[in-house]
Amino acid sequence: MIQLSLTVHSTFSKYPPSTMSFLVSSEQVIHFSFNLHIDTVQFSSKIYSMKVKRTIDTKIKEFLTKKTTDNILFIWGPRRSGKTTLLQKFAKEMKAPIFNFDFISDRQRFVPTEDSLRKLAQENEIIFIDEIQNYPAATVPIKILNDVYKIKVVATGSSELRQKAGEDFDTMAGRFQEIYCLPLSTKEIYNHEHVNIHDKGLFERNLVKNLSMFGAYPEVYLSKSSESYKIKRLEKIIETYVLKDIIDIYNLKNIKLAKDILTKVALQLGSEVSVREIANSLQANMGTVTSYIEIFIKNYILIPLPSFKTNARKAVSENRKLYFYDLGIRNALIKDFREIELRPDAGGLWENLVVIEFEKMKKINGLLQTHYFYREYGGKEVDFIIEDYKKNYTCVEIKKSKGKIRTIFPLPHKSKVITKDNFVEEFV
């Protein structure tokens, strides 16, 4: 048994922190979720398996411990993907503070005045910032901390910061690195489970089942609780983080419209998405629908897959496909958590699952790739095209079982088929 101490900080400054201690076995981690309301603290406990080692751990550690010319590290990703957990881990190791830009008091520490920045530099060699997109003006003091005081900064958030900070962000060119913290990848799960050769088949079947039903947000995938608990957590993520946060951050006016747009996209999984059709069905402005979709893309809720264009007149498609970064979120939107074999949308689910893993592989490993689909006028289609920076192409057929590889792509290319039988092998 080990003793853990937990300090609860109220968001209301007049209430001091309170600490509690409890005993747990070393094989378990107890997760407490708190509902703070004035002077009342309510909590419930759920048992989770030990935290997964993230692929980007090594990159963060190298940044913190080695001398680099770019002393700013941005960690992009959606809420609840594990960014804060990573910050807490490394801040503890480096004995450095975390400034949370959800809180005005923490933002105020980064007012770009000589006195405030000198004080920050004197107190810290490394600074960790959570949710930096909430304060785009912080790019100016961060640049000064780097240029003048040689302070290393690690900041998490949405890459929407680029657009919100504008020219101020552009002035940091050459000073920063960027990596991605997304919901758990197949490789991370595989390494965490320590799968041996005898259990590989069972692991693969369970993995596809769980990912296609509940997705890969750490708190959901790692939960040892009931399926109903996982569904409630996913609904909470949608309402609190996917919708409410985005509505608040971007000053959007209609949370119902945002959810309706996402639901419409969820119902068109694997098909080309027409913004005009969505706008007409919701009696909404096309520009508004487009803006909402772009925000969901920039905040790692949706993955866009454009149509590959060549000079060949046979290629056709002005629309793009939209997939979800997490199928648990998608299933919660349409309220369907049946196993993939029982679903009328099984083909779209399987396609989405493979697209997710290619997208994670690209972002986590910094691969210089562009992804597409390809369709001819006759209706024949290649599910997924990978284009590298040298214009080499790989055509991917996504099938439930082995099948014939189509040869309709007009440029020289390699081909592969991904099925449930080789899914894990492809991505680990």
Give percent of the chain with pLDDT exceeding 70: 85
- Reported confidence tier of residue 136, pLDDT bands at 50, 70, 90: confident
Mean pLDDT value of segment 335-360: 95
Section 218-234 average pLDDT: 95
**Does residue 54 surpass a pLDDT of 90?**
yes
pLDDT of residue 17: 45
Distance separating alpha carbons of residues 364 and 29, to the nearest angstrom: 26
pLDDT at 155: 94
Low-confidence winner among 207-221, 314-328, 346-360 (lowest mean pLDDT): 314-328
Secondary structure letter of residue 227 according to DSSP:
H
Tell me how many helices (H) and strands (E) the chain has: 18, 16
User: 232 pLDDT band (50/70/90 cuts)?
Assistant: very high
pLDDT at 25: 43
Q: Which of 30-34, 39-43, 169-173, 278-282 has the weakest average pLDDT? A: 39-43
Q: Tell me the CATH architecture of domain 57-180.
A: 3-Layer(aba) Sandwich (3.40)
Of the pLDDT bands very low, low, confident and very high (cuts 50, 70, 90), residue 166 is low
* Chain segment 61-106, per-residue pLDDT in tens: 999 998 877 899 999 999 899 999 999 999 999 999 999 999 999 9
347 burial (CB, 10 Å; 0-12 / 13-18 / 19+) is middle
Q: For the chain, what is the mean pLDDT? A: 85
pLDDT tens figures, 371-404 = 999 998 778 899 999 999 999 999 999 998 777 7
**Concatenated DSSP letters for 356-404?**
HHHHHHHHHTT--EEEEEEEBTTS-EEEEEEEETT--EEEEEE-SS--P
Mean pLDDT value across residues 117-136: 92
> Is residue 50's pLDDT more than 90?
no
pLDDT at 47 over 70: no
Q: Please work out, in degrees rounded to the nearest 5, the angle formed at the alpha carbon of residue 183 by the alpha carbons of 177 and 188.
A: 85
Q: Which two tokens stand for residue 299?
A: 């905040």
Model confidence at 46, in pLDDT bands (50, 70, 90)?
very low
Q: Which residue has the higher pLDDT, 83 or 319?
A: 83
Q: Where in the chain is the domain with CATH 3.40.50.300?
A: 57-180
Residue 56 has a pLDDT of: 96
| pLDDT confidence of residue 401 | 79
- Whole-number percent of the chain with pLDDT over 90: 63
Does residue 45 register a pLDDT over 70? Answer: no
Q: Is the pLDDT of residue 32 over 50?
A: no
Give the C-alpha separation, 204 to 220, whole Å.
18
Q: Are strands 72-76 and 176-180 parallel, antiparallel or unpaired?
A: parallel
